[in-house]
Structure 1
Amino acid sequence: MRVSTIKDRKKGLNKFLVFLFWIAVWQILYLIIQRDIYVPSPFDVFNRLNELIFMLSFWETVFSSIYRVIMGMLLSIVFGVVFGILASLNSYIFDLLNPLVSAIKSTPVISFIIIALIWFSSSNVPIFICFLMCFPIIWTNVVEGIRNVDKKLLEMADVYRVNRWLVLREIYLPSITPYFTAATITALGLGWKVSVAAEVLSHPRNGIGTHLYSAKVYLDSVDLFAWTLVVIILSILFENIFSRLLRSARKHRKELV
């Protein structure tokens, strides 16, 4: 217990030192350039961030963006898992979906955002873009996970007529989980990027992207950097929450076994 506590403290200290290092690099850049419009002082940015967190409008904006990312991610996970399972079990479905997924991967995000602006309201554009960009990642990894299931284990389960639920839980699930975990963590980071990018162009009433666009229009670099930091913090926070939930789920599963 003490060893794990010491390790956690060392890890936390290392992260803090890395954080201080990059703040120092930022401050040095600010001192070299000495023009706030290009690189504002980190102290000014953190002061602005401190002002923002005490505003009601800030939290309305943050929660609106969080809602859009969560909805886009949920849609991509649901459709990615369902169609990933179908595609891995049926070659015709895979051949049908693979060109579509390849097209989504190769098409610039800006093209989809412009199309989505015609199809949807400004509030729904970020949700659609988040779903569209994250779906290929989930789908591809689910397909790969199922295809890489140990065939010998499946043959053995078939010979001994093991219950299908047990086969799913004990053979398929452990094989798919690493692929799904990696896909979801990658998709979370991408989801925040594309959702905010969509907000910048669609200008929903409440959205981090809307504030980023306003900061750019008024050449307010301090606000621009402050809202960018908010996106980075939220993205890291979501990834950490998801990783911890997965770890606790694995621990719970091992205890049941």
Structure 2
Amino acid sequence: MSTSHYSLKNNKYIIFSIIIILLIWQFASIYIDNRLLFPSVIDVIKSTITIVSNKNFVTIIFYSVIRGVKSFFISISIALILGILSYFNKLIYNSILPILSIIKAVPTMAFIVLLLIWTSKDYAPVIIGIMISLPIFYDAILNTIVSIDKNLLQMCNVYKISVKDKMKHIIVPIIIIELNKVISSTFSLIFKVVISGEVYSQPTYGIGAIIQLEKMQLNTENIISWIIIITIISYIFELFFKTIDKRYIHKG
């Protein structure tokens, strides 16, 4: 699947597409002739340079990324434990099922508002990131364990391989390989949800808090600049996960 995906990718077409988008954007800005509603490409570039040059830029990025990373690791750890326990215990599986169904059904904004009542402005974005990504990781882990070849597990029982070795050499490696398929997209989702949480919770430092401040001041070009910055950060993490995959998971 990955081979066919990359065979369709052509950098020349991508660059051409970006140029067309920028030209349409610039002409639309000239036509609308309202910087507040639709700033020009030049305005956004200038705004981005100003934002990046700000002494607090790195700090703002750092806190948002750290919140995303915290959500990611806590979520994947909880999902791993619950997934394994659910496989071996039907009571746990059926107890978790309605909770995850509620998490999937309730709108993200409703959770953010509720978390702001229950927790502090610094914890709310992290918790919402965990809640949104937990069902994704849990389903991926549980489905992976369920789909493991039963003959392989029976062979382990025949040769009296311990549960510890079975987990270490069979179950966990397969889970890692399958999780890698959703890690990149899920982290991007976590990062965006954490920023959404920051918009509402307004922590001292955070991309979402700055976006809300720019919105109150009607700085449209700054908001677009931050959207571009968020996209770049997400892309960097996507490249990071792909590098990890090539070097350590699918090496050789």
TM-score (normalised: structure 1): 0.86
Aligned to 1:3: none
Question: Alpha carbons of 1:164 and 1:134: their partners in 2 closer, same or farther (altered >3 Å)?
Answer: same
Q: Give the whole-Å Cα distance in 1 for the aligned partners of 2:44 and 2:63.
A: 22
Question: 1:148–1:175: 8 Å Cα contact kept in structure 2?
Answer: no
SS of the aligned residue for 2:160 comes to coil
1:36-47 alignment, distance < 5 Å: 36-47=35-46
Does 1:91 find its partner at 2:73? no
Q: Kindly provide the CA deviation profile for residues 163-214 of structure 1, in whole angstroms up to 9, marking residues without a partner as x.
A: 6555435532453234312332232121122111111111111111111111
Question: Alpha carbons of 1:173 and 1:14: their partners in 2 closer, same or farther (altered >3 Å)?
Answer: farther
TM superposition shift of 1:20: 2.8
Question: Alpha carbons of 1:115 and 1:14: their partners in 2 closer, same or farther (altered >3 Å)?
Answer: same
Q: Which amino acid aligns with 1:249?
A: Y
Aligned to 2:3: none
SS of the aligned residue for 1:127 comes to helix
Question: 2:75–2:134: 8 Å Cα contact kept in structure 1?
Answer: yes
Question: Alpha carbons of 1:244 and 1:33: their partners in 2 closer, same or farther (altered >3 Å)?
Answer: same
Aligned to 2:237: 238
TM superposition shift of 1:11: 5.0
Aligned to 1:199: 198
Question: Alpha carbons of 1:86 and 1:21: their partners in 2 closer, same or farther (altered >3 Å)?
Answer: farther
Q: Give the whole-Å Cα distance in 1 for the aligned partners of 2:121 and 2:238.
A: 26
Aligned to 2:100: 101
Q: Give the whole-Å Cα distance in 2 for the aligned partners of 1:81 and 1:140.
A: 10
Q: State the 4+ residue runs in structure 1 displaced beyond 6 angstroms.
A: none
Give aligned pairs, total.
Answer: 246
Q: Give the whole-Å Cα distance in 1 for the aligned partners of 2:195 and 2:131.
A: 14
Q: Give the whole-Å Cα distance in 2 for the aligned partners of 1:114 and 1:77.
A: 24
1:174-185 alignment, distance < 5 Å: 174-185=173-184
Aligned to 1:27: 26
TM-score (normalised: structure 2): 0.88
Question: 1:215–1:223: 8 Å Cα contact kept in structure 2?
Answer: yes
In structure 2, list runs of 5 or more residues that go unmatched: 1-5
Q: Give the whole-Å Cα distance in 1 for the aligned partners of 2:182 and 2:245.
A: 13
Question: 1:61–1:206: 8 Å Cα contact kept in structure 2?
Answer: yes
Aligned to 1:51: 50
Q: Kindly provide the CA deviation profile for residues 32-70 of structure 1, in whole angstroms up to 9, marking residues without a partner as x.
A: 433222222122112211122122111111111111111
Q: Give the whole-Å Cα distance in 1 for the aligned partners of 2:56 and 2:130.
A: 26
Q: Which amino acid aligns with 1:95?
A: N
Q: Kindly provide the CA deviation profile for residues 56-113 of structure 1, in whole angstroms up to 9, marking residues without a partner as x.
A: 1111111111111111111111111111111122111110001101100100111111
In structure 1, list runs of 5 or more residues that go unmatched: 1-6
Percent identical pairs in the alignment equals: 26
TM superposition shift of 1:18: 3.8
Q: Which amino acid aligns with 2:51?
A: L
1:114-129 alignment, distance < 5 Å: 114-129=113-128
Q: Give the whole-Å Cα distance in 2 for the aligned partners of 1:21 and 1:177.
A: 40
Question: 1:204–1:210: 8 Å Cα contact kept in structure 2?
Answer: yes
CA RMSD, Structure 1 to Structure 2 (Å): 2.3
Q: Give the whole-Å Cα distance in 2 for the aligned partners of 1:175 and 1:205.
A: 41
Question: 1:144–1:179: 8 Å Cα contact kept in structure 2?
Answer: no
Q: Give the whole-Å Cα distance in 2 for the aligned partners of 1:21 and 1:188.
A: 29
Q: Kindly provide the CA deviation profile for residues 94-133 of structure 1, in whole angstroms up to 9, marking residues without a partner as x.
A: 1000110110010011111111111222122111111111
Question: 2:177–2:249: 8 Å Cα contact kept in structure 1?
Answer: no
Aligned to 1:213: 212
